[in-house]
Structure 1
Amino acid sequence: MSEPRNDGVRQPALIVTSPCAAPKAAVLLLHGGRADGLRPPPPWNLPEARMRPIGSRIAEVTARHSVLIGRVRYRHRGWNGVRADAAYDARRALDELAGLAGPPGTAGSLPVVLVGHSMGGRAALSAASHPLVRAVVGLAPWCPPDEAAGHLGGRTVVVLHGDRDRTTDPRGSADFVRRARESGARACALTVAGGDHAMLRRPGVWHALTAGTVAGLLGLSPLPPAVSQALDSGAVRLV
């Protein structure tokens, strides 16, 4: 049993960074964190800063398409074992997004893509069972060997992982994608040659491939060829 959450007055979990009056789709960003840590993220948070250029690139490719872009606010810096705090906050943000999207009965048609890095990738994959979620883009996600994948049936999952990552395991991502496909997900993994965990090596590849994948998953443009081929074949592809 998880520990009870006694968090006092809560701030909203959803931070809208690119609003629109009548969204037709939404993208939520989930930054990284730590395995353990009950303190809140600091005002200047490096994991959140790492996601800003990706968020800006996504905003560029979705401009004029009525796509709301936001990010998830974490109450704690860590995942914290069975508490799975980041996943809990992701689901809260999705519930809040449903309230913004329109009256009951209309929000279910709003397609949402979750884009998560590291711990945020784990949170995005965990929260993908939410009815709003259509797809997840995981960037160097934290995928333990026993991480559940059975809830991803009917979703699309695209994972990017650098082969020089020393923080999270690219093999864990590949294994998670395999289990997701066995559960009925349309899923693939791509290896960023020379890529590190912080996405500082070959940043142009990380940013362009993530934004292009999001646009393709939302039907705004074709998927990047490498992603389309990987989704069709199920093989891990090198980019």
Structure 2
Amino acid sequence: MSSDTPGAMRPALHWTQTPPAPTAVVLVLHGGKVASTAPAETSQLSAARLRPFARAVAKKMPDAAVVMLQYRMRGWNGADRSPVADARWALDEIRTRFGDTRVILLGHSMGGRTAAAVADDPSVDSIVALAPWWPDGTETDTLSTRQHLMVLHGRMDRWTSPRLSLQATVRAADRGVDARWVSMGPAGHFMLMRSWVWTRRTVAAVGAAFARIASAHDDDNARQENRR
């Protein structure tokens, strides 16, 4: 991917698990800043915070490929929407490697906003959004009725608005999207309070999406066998 910034910064994919023929791919999208053109690095807390989630998902779902996207820059950057181009690049890379395998997007904070922005990609089956940054409350308008959305948000979040993420979830559900919003109680933005509960519910949400994809995959295989 070509760079539009000095230093030729490029996005990168960091694979947690890569079975040879995955049933689905889980693309992990970490958070960031409202505005920053500083390089994103794997050592930064926004990325480090999601690595345990990626490992937990991989452990529970050995037939899923699990990969985290490292953005070029730390920030959303207004109209530039910097991580969106990176996520589209990642989806193209996944398609090149695994064909039409379905993708589950797991995004925290800015990663949740990025996930919603690329929901129009044909590979995307589901979004699991953790404390998503949806400042307009309309970010989910990109989802189609064939897709699935699960949102986890703590009511004590002072960085992103649980009210607006609920509004966006209800808005999606009203259009016929399979959309659910789950309160994480008096939790803040960084998923530190009762972190094991965040992990367990996240793995369950990704697991439910994975099970739907696996079931559809099995049905397709059965139909092909019946045609022979």
TM-score (norm 2): 0.86
Over 3 Å counting, the alpha-carbon distance change for 1:43 and 1:115 in structure 2 is: closer
1:211 maps to: 203
Q: Does 1:160 find its partner at 2:155?
A: no
1:174 maps to: 166
- In the alignment, residue 204 of structure 1 is paired with which amino acid? W
1:192-223 CA distance string (max 9 Å, x none) = 012110000011110000001111111179xx
2:134 maps to: 143
1:76 maps to: 73
Query: Partners of 2:135 and 2:10 in 1: how far apart?
Result: 29
Q: CA deviation at 1:122?
A: 0.6
Query: Does the residue aligned with 1:17 lie in a helix, a strand or coil?
Result: strand
Query: Does the residue aligned with 2:49 lie in a helix, a strand or coil?
Result: helix
2:4 maps to: 6
Query: Partners of 1:74 and 1:9 in 2: how far apart?
Result: 12
Query: Is the Cα–Cα contact under 8 Å of residues 35 and 78 in structure 2 kept in the other structure?
Result: yes
- In the alignment, residue 130 of structure 2 is paired with which amino acid? L
Show the 5 A alignment for 1:5-84. 6-7=4-5, 9=8, 11-63=10-62, 65=63, 67-84=64-81
Where has structure 1 moved over 4 Å in runs of 4 or more?
Answer: none
1:118 maps to: 109
Over 3 Å counting, the alpha-carbon distance change for 1:135 and 1:25 in structure 2 is: same
Query: Does the residue aligned with 1:218 lie in a helix, a strand or coil?
Result: helix
Query: Is the Cα–Cα contact under 8 Å of residues 27 and 105 in structure 2 kept in the other structure?
Result: yes
Query: Is the Cα–Cα contact under 8 Å of residues 139 and 161 in structure 1 kept in the other structure?
Result: yes
Query: Is the Cα–Cα contact under 8 Å of residues 149 and 183 in structure 1 kept in the other structure?
Result: no
2:218 maps to: none
Q: CA deviation at 1:11?
A: 3.5
Q: Give the percent of matched residue pairs that are identical in Structure 1 and Structure 2.
A: 37
TM-score (norm 1): 0.82
Pick aligned residue for 1:128 from 116, 119, 122:
119
Q: Does 1:199 find its partner at 2:204?
A: no
Query: Partners of 1:25 and 1:38 in 2: how far apart?
Result: 32
Query: Does the residue aligned with 1:90 lie in a helix, a strand or coil?
Result: helix
Q: Which runs of 5+ in 1 are unaligned?
A: 102-106, 222-239
Query: Does the residue aligned with 1:164 lie in a helix, a strand or coil?
Result: coil
Query: Partners of 1:42 and 1:5 in 2: how far apart?
Result: 16
Q: CA deviation at 1:112?
A: 0.9
Query: Partners of 2:165 and 2:134 in 1: how far apart?
Result: 6
CA RMSD of aligned residues (A): 1.9
